Chain A
Amino acid sequence: MSQPPKHLELTQVDIDFPTPNGPFKALSNVNLTINKGEFVSLIGHSGCGKSTVLNIIAGLYQATEGGCLLDGKEVNSPGPERAVVFQNHSLLPWLNAYENVELAVKQVFGKRMNKAEMRDWIEHNLALVHMGHALDKRPDEISGGMKQRVGIARALAMQPTVLLMDEPFGALDALTRAHLQDSLMEIQADLNNTVIMITHDVDEAVLLSDRIVMMTNGPAATVGEILNIDLPRPRDRIALADNPEYNQYRHQVLKFLYEKQRSPDAQQSTKPASGAAVTLALTPNQTNDDTEQAA
């Protein structure tokens, strides 16, 4: 069986955090393979280690066991090819929108671009997130949604191989969130980046993703089920509202979150969902098999 070249691969990742009462195992045996250009959502209850997975891919945390490979290279430090959109935008409050993006662009393209090219590239990225009109606004002068747009522009401007998003729209009101989700879908259709997004929002996950990775409750959280979302793109939120397939996917995610992983002391391992015609659910064991074949 021939395997396509792996783009991003997490293999048997464990992570322990030291605490006064001994090490705390946050993740145990996480296996995940992500293809180029894929949009993957991580979903699970609070404290299940979604952010930890993202931080390991970003290189901000080091796995205690196992590791992360990006295009065959081991990830062990942060870098702009794995740009992160942080939950609370994390813009530098003393720089305006243009300068915030400029800091990233100078760092990544400082040697390859001249001044005019850099200016065009910064403006292009801010225009991409519809922020072209507010280049000189500082973060405290713009709304939460606009800040998050600038955060996304900063990440996109690094031309990342993988775009990591940590609950990017979590702190926004529903209308702004919908706008930004649409923008993100447009941009992703355009640039075909690999995107890994953490979310709490089931609708957001189904609307945006190619695959949804559902995580079990911590401690020692791991990948519970993986759901393939086989809806045609471009997707339209209004049309999808009445789509039975869409509702079927939503139902499956909700079922995982509220029945199988209802409370934090629910059982750790989950059985694959059976009977659903459109699902392609993988248990941790099956993922292990894949990686063993690849090895």
Chain B
Amino acid sequence: MSTSTLSHRVSDSMAFVAQQSKQLVIPLIGLLLFLFIWEVGAKNIHTSLGTFPGPVAVYQQATNLIGEHQRERQKEQAFYERQEQRNAKKLAKNPDAVIKVRPYTGKPTFFDQIGTSLVTVMAGFFFASLIAIPAGIVIGLNQTLYSAFNPLIQLFKPVSPLAWLPLVTMVVSAVYVSKDPMFAKSFVTSLVTVSLCCLWPTLLNTAVGVSGISKDLQNVSQVLRLSWLTHVMKIVLPSAIPMIFTGLRLSLGIAWMVLIAAEMLAQNPGLGKFVWDEFQNGSSNSLGRIMVAVLVIGLIGFLLDRCMLMLQRKVSWDKSAVLR
């Protein structure tokens, strides 16, 4: 009897391991297949910059980029150390001496560009959400406003960032004038372009989520004579949360795509500029480096979406809902 239960347990755990490894193995096979096709295909594509980079070439370029970044950081550190020693000497000679601290002005590396792009996309997305969520709530609650704004939203939603970009650039140059600007103009241009393009999914989804509140809950709110603000905070927002997050995730995806295009076209610092610079550079390594950027852009887009999903899990009241 005891041996039979033991064998049961063993076979159960075997089945469990088999299932787990199946979940691991199948994506791995897919990945290997992709790498194989990539390698074979790349060999057969000959461009003016040499053969198309296969996985191995791309891996080499990735390590190169990391190496460049580390060398640049060492240079920067050395620069600051020299500057500090110089200033210390000056102060030792004359305690009242006016010392200068100059920032390091090296070429931004691949990883610096990633950082710039991330900051810009988050700022643009945050700015857009700040407008889109409240506007979506107001439009969703009021049928008249919804009818008034819906055609406009539908009109602007499909507009490509590239169409906005020249207009935004000109407007920002004309309007954002100050002696000591807090942000670089290129940053503001990217931010506004990103916001303009990623506003719409959040706006629409919030409006639809808000207008779809169950009639019963609206009746409860009416019987309780809840004030507008309490109604929004206690009833509208919690029931619209899933739709708002659907909109936010769509928006963030669009923001990331738009940003790369905007940086490429407007020569704003960031990953897009990195890709464009490499393209213009035209060395035999360029295609490999661009391919690294493509993969990194994809990975970051994926991670951004996962972050939103985690945020949604945290904010959502319904912990049992399946979020994917």
CB distance from A19 to the nearest CB of B (A): 18
Check if B238 sits within 8 Å of A58, measured CB to CB.
Answer: no
Check if A78 sits within 8 Å of B217, measured CB to CB.
Answer: no
Instruction: Say which one of B58-66, B116-124, B146-154, B221-229 lies at the interface with A.
Output: B221-229
- B318 within 8 Å of A by Cβ? yes
CA distance A84 to B216 in the complex (A): 11
Check if B223 sits within 8 Å of A82, measured CB to CB.
Answer: yes
What mask results when residues 216 to 253 of chain B are scored 1 for a CB within 8 Å of chain A, else 0?
A: 11011011111000100011001100000000000000
Contact residues in B for A129 (Cβ distance below 8 Å): none
Contact residues in A for B226 (Cβ distance below 8 Å): 107
Closest to A107 in B: B224
- A92 within 8 Å of B by Cβ? yes
**Contact among B220, B224, B225, B234 with A86 in the assembled complex (CB-CB below 8 Å):** B220
**Contact among B223, B239, B317 with A78 in the assembled complex (CB-CB below 8 Å):** B223
CA distance A166 to B85 in the complex (A): 83
| Contact flag A83-B318 (CB < 8 Å), given A88-B216, A92-B238 | no
Closest to A155 in B: B223
Contact residues in B for A93 (Cβ distance below 8 Å): 317-318
Closest to A104 in B: B224
Check if B217 sits within 8 Å of A79, measured CB to CB.
Answer: no
| Contact flag A84-B219 (CB < 8 Å), given A92-B235, A93-B318, A94-B238 | yes
| Contact flag A60-B219 (CB < 8 Å), given A92-B238, A94-B317, A94-B318 | yes
Closest to A83 in B: B223
Closest to B316 in A: A94
Contact residues in B for A80 (Cβ distance below 8 Å): 223-225
Check if B217 sits within 8 Å of A90, measured CB to CB.
Answer: yes
| A-B interface pairs (CB < 8 A), number | 50
Check if B223 sits within 8 Å of A58, measured CB to CB.
Answer: yes
**A interface SS class:** loop
CA distance A93 to B220 in the complex (A): 13
A: interface residue count bin? 20 to 34
CA distance A80 to B222 in the complex (A): 9
What mask results when residues 34 to 64 of chain A are scored 1 for a CB within 8 Å of chain B, else 0?
A: 0000000000000000000000001110000
- A240 within 8 Å of B by Cβ? no
- B2 within 8 Å of A by Cβ? no
Contact residues in B for A83 (Cβ distance below 8 Å): 223
- A187 within 8 Å of B by Cβ? no
Check if A86 sits within 8 Å of B216, measured CB to CB.
Answer: yes
- A140 within 8 Å of B by Cβ? yes
| Contact flag A92-B224 (CB < 8 Å), given A103-B234, A140-B320 | no
Name 14 extra pairs, CB < 8 A, besides A90-B216, A90-B217. A60-B223, A78-B225, A79-B225, A80-B224, A84-B219, A86-B216, A86-B219, A88-B216, A92-B217, A92-B234, A92-B235, A94-B238, A104-B224, A107-B224
A-B contact pairs, 13 of them (CB 8 A): A59-B222, A60-B222, A79-B223, A80-B223, A82-B223, A84-B223, A90-B217, A90-B219, A92-B217, A92-B220, A93-B318, A104-B224, A107-B225
On A, residues with C-beta under 8 Å from B are 58-60, 77-80, 82-84, 86, 88, 90, 92-95, 103-104, 107-108, 140, 158
